[in-house]
Every structure is written in structure tokens, then in C-alpha cells.
């Protein structure tokens, strides 16, 4: 049963938008998703649902299904390009120590399938691209490209890093390019670095992550500084360049690339969102990548969006969203709760991407030494802390 405190329109049917719909409906708030595409997208190969994300999925009632469809990550292990160990994080041991869930590697399509079939998901309307949002004292009216108009007390922009909503309301916010590209794919292949492992190999201006995402599927992502093949060139050339660049890496690396069909590879530049002056403007709130898109170096982006959804839903429960002042207060609390973590994550991921892209002989030697000593210890200590972070309860917020 929905409450009478208002209706929410969600723009974007990705992970953040669908999670927001489920979270809102679980606490009794009417929400409808409007997606510009004609169907749920399958863009993107695979992703990691980090510890916090699994706790958030538990609040949505979907953690068991995510585990069933993916593969838990028992161990993170880091190597140089010759296969020499740098450091590792025993995630399974940490999960037992802290009574927390393990991270899960899963194909993006499986996450979307899980969310889109969730019993608490509200209506999803496809083929609707928003072109205008008009606000007044009691609500907001969204106009779509097809001429349809819908009204709600709150609009959530969950339309990604390229958010048209954000570009219209906050045009000064910049999308940043990181200076390197990523080629990634999912291949049917036995785990080359052990089942339930996340393995990352660092080279000179190159690195590659290999992750078991369950059901005989392996996700890999290669980051390249100064790529020889431009984005948009045929994937056969991309694959040839990868095999050349990673020929000095351990055999499991180039065997996996060789076994991956060229047409399965996705090739794009790495981007992130610059600083946001605010996460809301009147009756419009930003969520997920539209608010804090992050480089993929820590594998936390999807988890952050799901936590956004839960925190925002909790803040909306006790208020009448028709009351502009009450809504502004709730959105301010949402931003205060979420911005520090997300901003810190953006900065850390950007820094890791920069250090990982070093090319010089002396620089990469120094990086590898730091990872074997100080940096490795700091990262493991940080992971200990992340296993202890709690996610707010939706159950206690429900009316």
C-alpha cells in the first residue's frame, strides 16, 4: 500500500533507477520509472557488487538472487606484469570475521534482470525521453519527447553520467576524461586465476583485471594508456593490439584474451564526473552516476547507486513531499549522508587510476615496491573498515 506523501518520477531504468523504485515502493511511496530506451539495456559486460552493495541488496530483498546469479569474490590478489605477487586481501576471511557478505562479481545483464523482476518494482515506462521539467510550489511536471506530460512531487534523475537532466539544470558540471581507455569483455572460460578470485596485473602503462563472475563466465578489463588503436576502430585490431601489449604478462592473461571473441569486446575511454555544486535543485534529486560517476578502478559505482536509493527513500518516508520546505530538508540530509563517501571514492579511484597508468621503468618499479609494502597494507586496512560499514535499514523506515 502506498502512502499519501507524494509521487516520485524516476528518469532512467538502469541499476540506480530501478533500485530507487524498489526502495521507494518498499517504504510505501508511489514511484514510476521512465526509460528512454525501448527495453532494458544490456550495455556493459560485468560489475562488482561490493560489500556495501550486497548489504544494500539485502535491504531490497535481492541479495540471495544476486549471489545465485554471480560469484562471490573470496580473494583479491595483485601482481606485477611478470606474475610476482604484490599483495592480497582475504575477503572470505574478512567476511567471516565481521559477519558481513562477500562481494559478488556478476554480469550487468543479470543485475538488471534481478531488479526488473523484483516483486517490489513499480511501473516502468519505456520509450520516454524527458525534454523538460517545470517546477512549482507543489510539484514538478515532466514533459517527454513524445508530448506526454507527467506530474509528481519529486523527480529523481538516475540517467547516468551523460544525464540530460543534470546538463539542463547544472550545465557547469564537467565530465572528466582520465587519460586512458578500457577494453573489457565477458568470455566463457574456466577461471584462469582460480575460482572466486579477483586478480589484477600491473604493467607499464597497462593493467588487466580478471574476475570470475560465475556460471563459467570470466570478466576481464584491460586499461591502456596511449592506445595504438583508436576508439571506433574494428575490434579485430583492438584484440591484436591487446595480444601484443600483454604478451609479456603471465600465460593465463594472453590465453584469456585470445579465447575472447573480438566482437564481445567493449572499448571506451574512462570518464568520471567533476564536482557537483549540489545533489538536488528544487524538486529534482540526482542519484548514482548522474551525481557522482566514478572511474572503475575500485569497482564500487553500482554499489554506491544502490545505497543512494536506500538513503533517499528513508529520508522521504516521514515527510509530505508537497511541502517544498520539508522536501528540501530531506534532500539536504540525503546529500549530507552520501556526498562525503562518494566524493572520497571518486578521488581515491582517480588517484589509483593515475598511479596504475605509470609507464616509466623507475616509476613502475617504485609503484610495485609501494604496493608490496606501505600501499598494500593501507589498502587491506581500508578493506577491513569497509566490511564494517552498515547500510541504513529500509524495514525500520517503512510506514
pLDDT tens-digit profile of 295-308? 999 999 999 999 99
Give the model confidence (pLDDT) of 74-112 as tens digits. Answer: 999 999 999 999 999 999 999 999 999 999 999 999 999
Q: In what order do the strands lie in the sheet with 149-152?
A: 130-135, 140-144, 149-152
Mean pLDDT of 6-14: 97
Alpha-carbon distance of 2 to 399, in angstroms, equals 9
Residue 1 pLDDT grade (very low, low, confident, very high; cuts 50, 70, 90): very low
Cell numbers that stand for 158 in this block: 538516475
User: Largest alpha-carbon pair distance within the chain?
Assistant: 64
Alpha-carbon distance of 358 to 50, in angstroms, equals 26
Query: Helix H segments across the chain?
Result: 15-26, 51-60, 63-69, 91-98, 108-116, 164-169, 235-245, 251-259, 289-292, 301-316, 324-356, 361-372, 374-386
The answer to whether 10 and 302 are in contact (CB under 8 A) is no
Please report the pLDDT score of residue 229 as a whole number. 85
Please report the pLDDT score of residue 44 as a whole number. 67
Mean pLDDT of 116-128: 98
Give the model confidence (pLDDT) of 261-298 as tens digits. Answer: 999 999 999 999 999 999 999 999 999 999 999 999 99
Cell numbers that stand for 107 in this block: 554480469
Alpha-carbon distance of 138 to 322, in angstroms, equals 5
Please report the pLDDT score of residue 227 as a whole number. 82
CA atoms within 13 A on the CB side of 255: 10
Please report the pLDDT score of residue 10 as a whole number. 99
Among residues 209, 39, 44, 6, the alpha carbon closest in space to that of 126 is found at 39
Q: In what order do the strands lie in the sheet with 85-89?
A: 85-89, 75-80, 197-202, 206-212, 217-224, 175-188, 266-273
Alpha-carbon distance of 265 to 182, in angstroms, equals 10
Mean pLDDT of 126-133: 98
| Structural domains of the chain, with CATH | 7-44+56-70+107-175+272-358 (3.50.50.60), 177-266 (3.30.9.30)
Please give, one letter per residue, the 3-state secondary structure of 207-254: EEEEEECCCCEEEEEEEECCCCCCCCCCHHHHHHHHHHHCCCCCHHHH
| pTM, 2 dp | 0.95
The answer to whether 74 and 197 are in contact (CB under 8 A) is yes
Please report the pLDDT score of residue 398 as a whole number. 57
Mean pLDDT of 195-205: 95
The answer to whether 104 and 71 are in contact (CB under 8 A) is yes
Please state, in angstroms and as integers, the Cα–Cα distance from residue 351 to each residue in 28, 153, 303, 356, 357, following that order.
40, 39, 20, 8, 10
Give the model confidence (pLDDT) of 320-348 as tens digits. Answer: 999 999 999 999 999 999 999 999 999 99
Give the model confidence (pLDDT) of 20-73 as tens digits. Answer: 999 999 999 999 999 999 999 776 678 999 999 999 999 999 999 999 999 999
For every residue of 332-343, DSSP letters joined together read HHHHHHHHHHHH
Q: Provide long-range contacts, Cβ within 8 A and 24+ apart, for 346-350.
A: 346/272, 346/273, 346/292, 346/294, 346/295, 348/298, 349/272, 349/294, 349/295, 349/296, 349/297, 349/298, 349/300, 350/178, 350/272, 350/294, 350/295, 350/297
Please report the pLDDT score of residue 396 as a whole number. 74
Residue, of 1 and 76, whose pLDDT is higher = 76
3 state DSSP class of 256: helix
Please report the pLDDT score of residue 395 as a whole number. 80
* Bridge partner list, 197: 75
Amino acid at each position: 500500500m502506498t502512502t499519501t506523501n507524494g509521487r516520485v518520477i524516476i528518469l532512467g531504468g538502469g541499476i540506480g533507477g530501478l533500485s530507487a523504485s524498489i526502495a521507494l515502493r518498499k517504504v510505501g511511496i508511489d514511484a514510476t520509472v521512465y526509460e528512454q530506451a525501448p527495453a532494458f539495456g544490456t550495455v556493459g559486460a560485468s560489475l562488482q557488487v561490493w560489500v556495501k552493495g550486497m548489504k544494500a541488496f539485502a535491504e531490497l530483498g535481492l541479495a540471495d538472487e544476486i549471489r545465485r546469479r554471480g560469484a562471490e569474490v573470496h580473494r583479491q590478489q595483485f601482481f606485477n606484469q611478470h606474475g610476482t605477487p604484490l599483495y592480497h586481501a582475504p575477503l572470505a576471511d574478512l567476511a567471516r570475521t565481521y559477519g558481513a557478505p562477500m562481494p559478488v562479481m556478476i554480469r550487468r545483464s543479470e543485475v538488471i534482470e534481478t531488479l526488473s523482476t523484483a516483486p517490489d518494482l513499480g511501473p516502468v515506462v519505456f520509450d520516454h525521453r524527458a525534454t523538460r521539467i517545470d517546477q512549482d510550489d507543489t510539484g514538478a511536471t515532466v514533459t517527454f519527447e513524445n508530448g506526454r506530460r507527467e506530474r509528481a512531487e519529486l523527480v529523481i534523475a538516475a540517467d547516468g553520467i551523460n544525464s540530460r537532466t543534470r546538463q539542463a539544470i547544472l550545465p557547469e558540471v564537467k565530465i572528466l576524461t582520465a587519460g586512458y581507455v578500457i577494453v573489457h569483455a565477458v568470455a566463457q572460460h574456466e577461471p584462469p586465476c582460480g575460482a572466486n578470485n579477483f586478480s589484477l596485473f600491473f604493467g607499464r602503462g597497462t593493467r588487466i583485471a580478471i574476475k570470475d563472475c560465475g556460471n563459467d563466465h570470466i570478466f576481464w578489463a584491460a586499461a591502456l594508456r596511449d592506445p595504438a588503436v583508436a576508439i571506433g576502430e574494428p575490434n579485430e585490431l583492438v584484440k591484436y593490439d591487446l595480444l601484443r601489449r600483454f604478451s609479456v604478462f603471465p600465460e593465463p592473461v594472453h590465453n584469456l584474451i585470445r579465447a575472447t571473441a573480438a566482437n564481445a569486446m567493449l572499448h571506451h575511454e574512462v570518464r568520471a564526473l567533476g564536482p557537483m555544486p549540489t545533489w538536488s535543485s528544487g524538486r529534482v534529486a540526482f542519484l548514482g552516476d548522474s551525481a557522482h560517476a566514478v572511474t572503475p578502478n575500485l569497482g564500487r559505482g553500482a554499489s554506491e547507486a544502490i545505497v543512494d536509493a536506500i538513503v533517499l527513500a528513508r529520508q522521504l518516508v516521514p515527510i509530505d513531499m508537497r511541502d517544498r520546505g520539508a522536501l528540501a530538508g530531506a534532500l539536504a540530509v540525503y546529500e549530507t549522508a552520501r556526498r562525503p563517501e562518494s566524493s572520497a571514492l571518486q578521488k581515491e579511484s582517480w588517484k589509483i587510476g593515475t598511479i596504475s597508468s605509470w609507464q616509466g621503468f623507475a616509476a613502475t618499479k617504485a609503484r610495485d615496491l609501494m604496493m608490496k609494502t606501505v600501499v598494500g597494507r593501507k589498502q587491506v586496512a581500508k578493506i577491513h573498515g569497509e566490511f564494517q560499514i552498515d547500510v541504513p535499514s529500509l524495514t525500520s523506515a517503512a510506514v
